[in-house]
A = this chain, B = another copy of it.
Amino acid sequence: MGHKLTENLSDTDCVRHFKAIQDTQYILNGKWKVLIIAMLAQGKRRYLELQRILEGIGSKMLSKELQHLEINGIVLRTVTNAKPISVEYELTAYGKTLKPLTDEMARWGIAHKHHLRNK
């Protein structure tokens, strides 16, 4: 049943490829995680700062998503013992490895807007 051999992965490779994509999707899943990561890629942010910039997110969502990302080693949570208590979130070194992905999502989204405009 032959398309060209060179442009197809074997079935086993194919399954491995799919599993990998699914693993990535598991980490980034939902409406907000990529956005949170993209924000934190620009530097540390505090809880209410995140909530303000991510317009529309509720506290429940935000804390749930941050916990998910923390558990998976993407985000680091630090409580500073400053006068008014404050909690800072930032990407871990590992979290930063997602930057090419979030950048590519942003890049494609921008290209997509141009594409729609010129149709």
Cβ-closest chain B residue relative to A3 = B43
- Report A21 CB to chain B, min CB distance, Å: 5
In the complex, whether A69 has a CB less than 8 A from a CB of chain B is no
Check if B104 sits within 8 Å of A7, measured CB to CB.
no
Q: Which of A82-114 contact B (CB under 8 A)?
A: 94, 97-98, 100-102, 104-113
In the complex, whether A14 has a CB less than 8 A from a CB of chain B is yes
Check if A109 sits within 8 Å of B21, measured CB to CB.
yes
Check if B43 sits within 8 Å of A8, measured CB to CB.
yes
Check if A105 sits within 8 Å of B7, measured CB to CB.
no
Check if B23 sits within 8 Å of A109, measured CB to CB.
yes
Check if B106 sits within 8 Å of A21, measured CB to CB.
yes
Q: A8-B43, A94-B115, A100-B104 are in contact. Are A38 and B18 (CB under 8 A)?
A: yes
How far is A39 from B111 in the complex, measured between Cα atoms in Å? 22
Check if A101 sits within 8 Å of B104, measured CB to CB.
yes
